[in-house]
């Protein structure tokens, strides 16, 4: 395990793709991630330099040119807002409360608005932003921990390893993680095996396929 090679002098940076984790926890466990337990496990006895969480706010809406398009957007926006409340795990809490909980767990937040286009198409990924921040902080870190299962980050993993000399750990749900990013990482941490890292939702939801 990581404890065998970890050094207490290692400087650690954590970069969390919150949307990726949310959907994995919801689809696999009908639950949510306990970010306080997650960060504690990932850091261990090492020195945490920065912990960044990348989130997408549900309010961002692209302007439309017809009442039909606006109605479609409004429906998509409401659905996104419901998903944000679902992230928190108690239905009645606000998106702001979820963001506040992340900050209390020790994360610095990076936010952007969810863009919702006609017909309900959504755009709000943080791939470029995460890559830029990780590369920018690379000289100050010995270990970069990417918390995502997205295979699109494989080029970033390789650059951090070979271009920056960093140890790169990837943490995600093994059942939903890309095999490519698992193989590329110096170490893969399966969130499913971390005690108390997954909290089941406290209310029932009905889903339709």
Domains of the chain: 8-56+106-112+124-200 (3.40.50.1010)
Q: For the segment 110-146, what is each residue's pLDDT rounded down to a tens digit? A: 988 766 656 665 555 789 999 999 999 999 999 999 9
Q: How far is CA 22 from CA 135, 170, 171, in A?
A: 24, 16, 13
Q: For the segment 46-103, what is each residue's pLDDT rounded down to a tens digit? A: 999 999 999 988 643 333 344 444 444 444 444 444 444 444 444 434 778 888 989 9
Sign of the CA dihedral with 156 first, then 153, 172, and 14 last: positive
Determine how many CB atoms are found less than 10 A away from the CB of residue 9. Answer: 9
Q: For the segment 143-157, what is each residue's pLDDT rounded down to a tens digit? A: 999 999 999 999 999
Burial class of 184 by CB neighbour count within 10 A (0 to 12, 13 to 18, 19+) = buried
Q: Are 100 and 53 in contact (CB under 8 A)?
A: no
H/E stretch holding 197 reads none
**What is residue 103's three-state secondary structure?**
helix
* Percent residues over pLDDT 70 in the chain: 70
Q: Are 145 and 12 in contact (CB under 8 A)?
A: yes
pLDDT number for residue 201 = 64
Per-residue pLDDT band for 199 (boundaries 50, 70, 90) equals confident
The pLDDT of residue 3 is above 80: no
Q: Are 51 and 182 in contact (CB under 8 A)?
A: no
How far apart (Å, rounded) are the C-alpha atoms in residues 202 and 39?
A: 23
């Amino acid at each position: 395990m990581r404890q065998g090679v970890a050094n207490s002098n290692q400087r650690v940076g954590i970069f969390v793709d919150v949307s990726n984790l949310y959907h994995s926890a919801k689809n696999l466990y009908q639950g949510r991630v306990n970010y306080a337990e997650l960060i504690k496990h990932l850091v261990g006895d090492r020195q945490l330099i920065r912990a960044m969480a990348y989130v997408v706010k549900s309010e961002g809406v692209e302007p439309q040119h017809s009442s039909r398009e606006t109605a479609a957007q409004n429906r998509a926006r409401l659905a996104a807002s419901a998903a944000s409340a679902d992230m928190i795990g108690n239905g009645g809490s606000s998106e702001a409360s979820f963001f506040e909980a992340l900050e209390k767990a020790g994360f610095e937040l990076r936010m952007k608005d969810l863009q919702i286009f006609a017909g309900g198409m959504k755009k709000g990924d943080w791939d470029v932003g995460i890559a830029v921040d990780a590369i920018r902080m690379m000289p100050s870190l010995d270990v970069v921990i990417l918390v995502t299962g997205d295979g699109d980050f494989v080029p970033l993993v390789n650059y951090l390893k070979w271009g920056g000399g960093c140890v790169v750990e990837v943490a995600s749900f093994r059942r939903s993680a890309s095999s490519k990013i698992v193989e590329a990482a110096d170490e893969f941490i399966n969130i499913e095996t971390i005690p108390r890292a997954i909290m089941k939702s406290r209310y029932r939801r009905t889903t339709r396929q």
